[in-house]
Amino acid sequence: MQTPKQSINKEEKAIVAENAMPADWSPAKRRQKDIEARWTKKHGKSYFGYQLSANADKRYKVIRKIKIST
């Protein structure tokens, strides 16, 4: 699952790195920014978002576990 790219300046990036949200952001901007998503590289292509892992039972076709991580 891929989320929209973030465009923030260096000061805001430092605040977000501490798991906080800048105080001067409007409520609309706070809703649009995802401060928990992270960048990763897979096969030379960069992605921003979360990783979804699922464990399924092959015989019964039932999902046993779902894990979402950054």
Average pLDDT, the chain: 85
- Report which residue type is found at 21: M
30 part of a folded domain: yes
- Is residue 2, in this structure, part of any structural domain at all? no
Give per-residue pLDDT as tens, 2-41.
Answer: 666 667 788 888 888 887 888 888 888 888 888 888 888 8
Per residue in 36-64, pLDDT (tens digit) is 888 888 899 988 888 889 999 999 989 99
* pLDDT, mean of residues 64-70: 90
Rg (CA), the chain: 16
Looking at the whole model, is its pTM more than 0.75? Answer: no
What's phi and psi for 68, nearest 5 deg? Answer: -115, 125
- Residue 50 within any structural domain of the chain: yes
Residue 57 lies in a domain: yes
Domain count for the chain = 1
Closest alpha carbon to 51 in 35, 66, 64, 69: 69
25: containing domain: 10-69
